[in-house]
């Protein structure tokens, strides 16, 4: 069973005498160690699957890992095995233990936009930057397990003290809404385990062996949970690569790698040095770029794969030409090598860079999926409608209540909601319920009460029809009743509004189709949607499509052919990183991008790019200069512009002709 592992990998799988850290570079088979070890624990060591938890960084990675385990053990589904993200583990724990922290089990989960909205209400500002800064600060405290009191007591400046006070109010608000934000999903279990030994024992008995992928990107809170659950015995395997730590900006701390040595003096460290993913040229490029960082552990990777093609560095005139070159080359390559769309990935630093490539792929009718971007179900207009569905399904869902009650505006103000939240919190009931209680009614003026009552009565009336009316009809009636179309066109300029309204139509159509096809009622559909959002749209994986992704979201994945686009100064490295002294994290990002490629890597940059409406000259990323010329082939540089355009047109014509033959 362990025959498709090399010697150190096998050692890592079999090692069960204490805590284990596998520290190794990209593509060396760390994730493979985890999947093999899960199946080894079950089949060879008699662990029940429900006593094992494997923790990954994204839902997609969790899904892939589960699939890999199932493949290793055909016909033997590992029932009860936990393979999930830290956040999903947190949900699992909180669903069972919420009452111990004075939350109800049907608490709601707020995404970061919902959280921003709450901060917005506290700060009473529309300055997005300002809100984001506060949110970052609060999130930092939460991830560092620092309570609002401590944050206030240790504040080093007036600004910090202000943030600490906002933090306190933010927490109070969440509590009143019976809602958790993403940080709470990890912080609260850690807090629970720190204060309640009985609970900790219960969960230690349940989760007897922990495996953690991408360990370098855990934050203090996540590390705390690992330590709590594993106790002194240290029944865990952590795998990671400090050169791929790219979430420092979100509170992850590579120091956790060192901390492991200190907390577990018996820690065994195994290194893997053979790379199974990439050709030698790609590997050399990655090694030489990351060699410029001041590194904790120097890890030189080697590979048995041949040299492969040189890394192609492509200079482009501007964004349009870049998108054209990338997409056309990709399609020609696909045609020539008879590969699949799914063998190709276009990676970029920030989501906003995706648009031109999307457009170009669409023009050429090439299927693509996007990850790391906003999903359809996260669009604000869709979230508005989902909030009504959630409220109709479950009147305890306070954030859904708030969103629905205030969208469109119907005269329910922040002050009223605050009073309602306060009252509901004291009575430990939902906002919806509170509206009808005499105790609350006596606290507000008639003018405040009236719109609330009208709204709740409307929801009640609609709810009464849910059981025997098709979902799409409910939604159509709802849209009319709340005048949603008018609301959208009033709050946005025409083109954006039209876009939103199209999305709404698409959503209603989707509800209709889904509702009919699977004979689903509103409750089932609402749950389906929650799952789709949670799983980042499962169907995406099943179709053969080019992947468009941020580098961050591509972590841990591999693709036959990678196009890294927009490799320019101020983008990669990001301008702020140069100013903030986080250049090394940017270099690690470059390393992650390069090491996603198996057989070919193309790096492109523009000579000019539109920024803030102005065409500006760009410099190629300094990281390109860190790749040896011997491993690189360049195109597009220093050619007479007229000649270059002609060449470009000729090439394009050739490719188009080739594709037309197909």
Ligand X SMILES: Nc1ncnc2c1ncn2[C@@H]1O[C@H](COP(=O)(O)OP(=O)(O)OP(=O)(O)O)[C@@H](O)[C@H]1O
Q: Are the C-beta atoms of residues 289 and 526 closer than 8 Å to each other?
A: no
554 assigned binding-site residue? no
Catalytic residue selected from 281, 596, 599, 622: 596
d(CA 398, CA 421): 9
Element (H, E) at 24: strand 20-24
Bridge partners for 117 per DSSP: none
The response to whether 27 counts as a known ligand-binding position is yes
The question of whether 506 is a catalytic residue gets the answer no
Find the shortest distance in angstroms from Cβ 522 to Mg ion: 40
Site for ligand X in 589-618 (CB under 6 A): 595
Could you tell me the two tokens for 409? 């505006």
Which one of residues 4, 76, 128, 633 is an interface residue with ligand X (CB under 6 A)?
A: 4
- Minimum CB separation of residue 42 from ligand X in Å reads 19
Nearest residue (CB) to Mg ion, 274 versus 469 = 274
Whether residue 153 is annotated as binding a ligand: the answer is: no
Of 4-12, 322-330, 344-352, 440-448: span binding ligand X (CB under 6 A): 4-12
Residue 90, annotated as binding a ligand: no
| Short-list 659, 20, 610, 82, CA closest to 317 | 610
**Ranges within 541-580 binding ligand X (CB under 6 A):** 556, 558
Token digits of residue 351: 């989501």
Q: How far is the CB of 37 from Mg ion (least distance, A)?
A: 13
- Contact partner, 26, from Mg ion, ligand X, none, Cβ < 5-8 Å per class: ligand X
Is residue 319 among the annotated active site residues? Answer: no
Q: Which among 64, 183, 214, 631 is annotated as catalytic?
A: 214
Query: Could you say which of Mg ion, ligand X, none residue 28 binds, taking C-beta under 5 to 8 angstroms by partner kind?
Result: ligand X
454 as an active site residue: the answer is no
Instruction: For residues 239 and 592, give the distance between their C-alpha atoms in angstroms, rounded to a whole number.
Output: 16
213 is catalytic: yes
Contact between 276 and ligand X by CB under 6 A: the answer reads yes
Q: Which of 213, 381, 568, 584 is catalytic?
A: 213
Q: Give yes or no for residue 8 binding ligand X (CB under 6 A).
A: no
- Nearest by Cα to 229 from 211, 261, 265, 204: 204
Q: Could you say which residues in the range 437-456 bind ligand X, by CB under 6 A?
A: none
Could you confirm whether 586 is annotated as catalytic? Answer: no
Binding site for Mg ion (CB under 5 A): 30-31, 556
Write down how long the chain is: 662
Q: Is the peptide bond before 573 cis (omega within 30 degrees of 0)?
A: yes
- Selected from 8, 12, 13, 32, the binder of ligand X by CB under 6 A is 32
Which among 141, 186, 175 has a CA at the least distance from the CA of 399?
175
Of the two residues 68 and 608, which places its CB atom closer to Mg ion in the complex?
68
Residue 437 is a catalytic residue: no
Q: Is 406 annotated as a binding residue?
A: no
What is the contact mask toward ligand X in residues 11 to 30, using x (rule: CB under 6 A)? -------------x-xxxxx
Cα(290)–Cα(586) distance, rounded to whole angstroms?
10
400 is in an annotated binding site: no
| Least spacing, CB of residue 619 vs ligand X, in Å | 29
Strands 597-606 and 311-316: parallel
| Residue 277 marked as a ligand binder | yes
- CA atoms of 391 and 401, how far apart (whole Å): 6
Taken in order 196, 201, 206, 209, the sign of the CA dihedral is positive
Cis amide prior to 414 (ω within 30 degrees): no
* Positive or negative torsion for Cα 621, 601, 330, 340: negative
* Complex with ligand X: residue 28 or 120, whichever CB lies closer: 28
Half-sphere exposure of 378 (CA within 13 A, CB side): 17
If one asks whether residue 50 binds ligand X (CB under 6 A), the answer comes out as: no
Q: DSSP string spanning 512-554?
A: HHHHHHTT--HHHHHHHHHHHHHTT-THHHHS--EEEEETGGG
Among 31, 56, 92, 644, binds ligand X (CB under 6 A): 31
- Residue 618 CB contacts under 8 Å (≥ 6 apart), including other chains: 568, 569, 570, 605, 606, 607, 608, 609
Active site residues: 30-31, 213-214, 244, 596
Q: Which residue ranges are tagged as binding site for ATP?
A: 24-31, 277
Site residues (vs ligand X, CB under 6 A): 4-6, 9, 24, 26-32, 241, 244, 276-277, 556, 558, 595
């Amino acid at each position: 069973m362990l025959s498709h592992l090399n010697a150190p990998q096998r050692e890592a799988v079999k090692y069960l005498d204490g805590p284990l850290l596998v520290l190794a570079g990209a593509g060396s088979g760390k994730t493979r160690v985890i999947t093999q070890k899960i199946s080894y624990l079950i089949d060879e060591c008699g662990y029940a699957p429900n006593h094992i938890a494997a923790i990954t960084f994204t839902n997609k990675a969790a899904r892939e890992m589960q699939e890999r385990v199932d493949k290793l053990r055909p016909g033997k589904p590992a029932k009860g095995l936990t393979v999930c993200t830290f956040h999903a583990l947190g949900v699992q724990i909180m669903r069972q233990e919420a009452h111990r922290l004075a939350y109800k089990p049907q608490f709601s989960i707020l995404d970061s936009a919902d959280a921003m909205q709450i901060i917005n209400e506290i700060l009473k500002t529309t300055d997005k930057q300002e809100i984001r800064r506060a949110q970052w600060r609060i999130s930092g405290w939460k991830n560092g397990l620092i309570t609002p009191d401590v944050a206030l007591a240790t504040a080093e400046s007036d600004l910090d003290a202000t943030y600490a006070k906002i933090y306190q109010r933010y927490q109070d608000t969440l509590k009143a809404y019976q809602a958790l934000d993403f940080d709470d999903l990890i912080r609260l279990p850690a807090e629970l385990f720190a204060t309640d030994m009985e609970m900790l024992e219960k969960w230690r008995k349940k989760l007897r062996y922990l495996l953690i992928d991408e360990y370098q990107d855990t934050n203090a809170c996540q590390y705390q949970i690992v330590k709590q659950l594993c106790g002194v015995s240290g029944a865990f395997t952590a795998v990671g690569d400090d050169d791929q730590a790219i979430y420092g900006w979100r509170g992850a701390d590579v120091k956790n790698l060192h901390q492991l040595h200190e907390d577990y003096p018996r820690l065994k460290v195994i290194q893997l040095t053979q790379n199974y993913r990439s050709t030698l040229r790609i590997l050399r490029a990655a090694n030489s770029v990351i060699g410029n960082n001041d590194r904790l552990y120097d890890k030189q990777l080697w590979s048995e794969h041949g040299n492969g093609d040189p890394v192609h560095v492509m200079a482009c005139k501007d964004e349009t030409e870049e998108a054209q070159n990338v997409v056309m080359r990709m399609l020609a390559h696909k045609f020539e090598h008879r590969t699949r769309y799914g063998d190709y990935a276009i990676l970029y630093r920030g989501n906003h860079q995706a648009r031109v490539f999307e457009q170009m792929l669409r023009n050429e009718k090439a299927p693509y999926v996007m990850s790391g971007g906003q999903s359809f179900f996260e669009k604000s207009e869709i979230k508005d409608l989902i909030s009504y569905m959630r409220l109709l399904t479950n009147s305890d869902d306070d954030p859904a209540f708030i969103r629905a009650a205030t969208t469109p505006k119907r005269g329910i103000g922040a002050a009223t909601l605050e009073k309602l939240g306060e009252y509901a919190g004291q009575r430990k009931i939902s906002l919806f319920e509170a509206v009808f209680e005499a105790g609350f009614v006596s606290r507000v003026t008639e003018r405040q009460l009236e719109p609330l009552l009208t709204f709740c009565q409307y929801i009640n009336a609609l709810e009464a029809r849910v059981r025997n009316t098709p979902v799409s009809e409910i939604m159509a009636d709802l849209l009319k009743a709340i005048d949603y179309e008018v609301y959208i066109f009033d709050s946005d300029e025409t083109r954006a509004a039209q876009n939103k309204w199209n999305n709404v139509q698409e959503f209603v159509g989707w509800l209709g189709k889904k509702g009919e096809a699977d004979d689903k009622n509103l409750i089932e559909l609402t749950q389906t949607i929650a799952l789709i959002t949670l799983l980042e749209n499962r169907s995406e994986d099943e179709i053969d499509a080019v992947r468009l992704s941020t580098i961050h979201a591509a972590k841990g994945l591999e693709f036959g052919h990678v196009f890294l686009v927009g490799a320019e100064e101020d983008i990669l490295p990001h301008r702020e990183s140069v100013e903030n002294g986080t250049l090394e994290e940017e270099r690690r990002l470059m390393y992650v991008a390069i090491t996603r490629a198996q057989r070919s890597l193309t790096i492109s940059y523009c000579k000019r790019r539109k920024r803030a409406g102005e065409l500006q000259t760009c410099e190629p990323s300094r990281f390109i200069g860190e790749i040896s010329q011997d491993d690189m082939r360049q195109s597009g540089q220093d050619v007479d512009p007229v000649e270059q355009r002609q060449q470009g047109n000729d090439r394009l014509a050739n490719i188009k002709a080739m594709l037309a033959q197909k």
